[in-house]
Structure 1
């Protein structure tokens, strides 16, 4: 129980940025923001949170750069998906770009923030890591499939099979109170994807965005979305792991 408590505490600390975002969503759903649209207020809180985490050393400069990359990647995906009608941001905002508020990029950045923080706090190590070029190709294929499946065949199941084959031997080692545990990296993908799906239900409940079937009343997000988040987690994890792997080789 002591180990589980410590593990849960470190995980909670790693989710600091995500917790701030969801708390802001909940509060602004109940209370109106004065003099500033809701989406812009959330963006302001995200920027202040990032500044706070840098000043207090909760995040390193390298981690901030990774989070910035994810913000751009996520914003590009959001703009495309909103344009295709996959979901929408119905409220008014000064900071909207092509119908997407800039705070939405921080939702993806919060996933990267969690991965970076958990990696450092749990002293994560990976063994049997595949070739960097193979990881890069898989990450690119998964990301671009989010765009291309609107026009051609959806390769998500093939990409999942490719992920299992590529990372079949890959193991994640992490430490809790100096005791080392291990887990297949594929299982880690599934667990993180599932919990992000739970977070997505919370986010849509508080009006972070809307799916077409939630325009009149809130409904639970379809279970099929777990597979989408699973693929996004894989991309996020692979980018973070690849950057850390490259940096480790340089050092």
Structure 2
């Protein structure tokens, strides 16, 4: 029987899931290489859909950077806020997102905005331009960029029916997430504990594996959860480069002209993954697969039932 999460797919995601089923049924008798490529293509399409909120935000940032008129009565930053609110409203009205998940996304928004206010006050980065929809030197569209991460996290849980073996106790992950968040503030005044926190993360999650499936009729596949965290952090770093090139915010080393965001930021995004996962697990409780479920690591790597 499909899990509860699969039954909670939005209407668009149900159609996407049906599309995946039809494509993956074509795997039969098509050969291992062709089958792998088709499955990877379906995986990519579902990942792209999981990123729809973030992709819409990036399109908004880039298009307003390239074509928004400087003489407009409404400032670009205020237009970005209105555009971000419109995207969120459309996703709810078109039932692309559930009300249950909206609470997590709002929490991401608040957590991110608080951190933005602090980080800009200490000069970690800054925002150009002006507008009315600002708070303490931070344009309100910034919270939606954090909300985009939350949107991806909750969506990917549904689309790939995620389960976890040997997931750490949630109270332990909650304490770790709180420590990570506190370090984003505290390292400006006391010892920077990011490397200690990274070590704790490795110890806590080292034995945890994530199970997923491209479609409910397909076999389960698995990967170390730390690898998943790293992959997501890398793609957020890519999005960050696009956003800074579009003038969404500016790091001190970009004041005289845009340059690639330092790879050291990958550590920050990796740590953000912990906060993200902790928040999402209070909507989707991490559950292991049933003992009878078939799990495969990947092509040519079968595991026992």
Superposition TM-score tier, normalisation by shorter sequence: over 0.9
Task: Tell me the residue number matched to 1:16.
Answer: 52
Task: Tell me the residue number matched to 1:127.
Answer: 165
d(CA) in 1 for partners of 2:94, 2:165: 32
Task: Tell me the residue number matched to 2:73.
Answer: 35
d(CA) in 1 for partners of 2:233, 2:202: 15
* CA displacement at 1:246 relative to structure 2: 8.3
d(CA) in 1 for partners of 2:158, 2:191: 38
Q: Deviations over 1:60-86 (max 9, x none)?
A: 111111000000000000000000000
d(CA) in 2 for partners of 1:138, 1:151: 20
Q: Deviations over 1:18-52 (max 9, x none)?
A: 11111011111111254311111111111111111
Q: Deviations over 1:111-133 (max 9, x none)?
A: 00001111111111112121121
Structure 1 169/139 Cα, relative in aligned 2: closer, same or farther at 3 Å? same
Task: Tell me the residue number matched to 1:76.
Answer: 114
Under a length normalisation based on structure 1, what TM-score does the superposition of the two structures give?
Answer: 0.95
What is the root-mean-square deviation in Å for CA atoms of aligned residues? Answer: 1.5
Moved more, 219-228 or 28-37: 28-37
Task: Tell me the residue number matched to 1:89.
Answer: 127
Task: Note if 1:118 corresponds to 2:192.
Answer: no
SS of the counterpart of 2:164?
Answer: strand
Task: Tell me the residue number matched to 1:180.
Answer: 220
- List gaps (5 residues or longer) in structure 1: none
Q: Deviations over 1:179-234 (max 9, x none)?
A: 31111111111110111111111100000000011112001111111101110112
Task: Tell me the residue number matched to 1:58.
Answer: 96
Structure 1 123/246 Cα, relative in aligned 2: closer, same or farther at 3 Å? closer
d(CA) in 2 for partners of 1:15, 1:218: 25
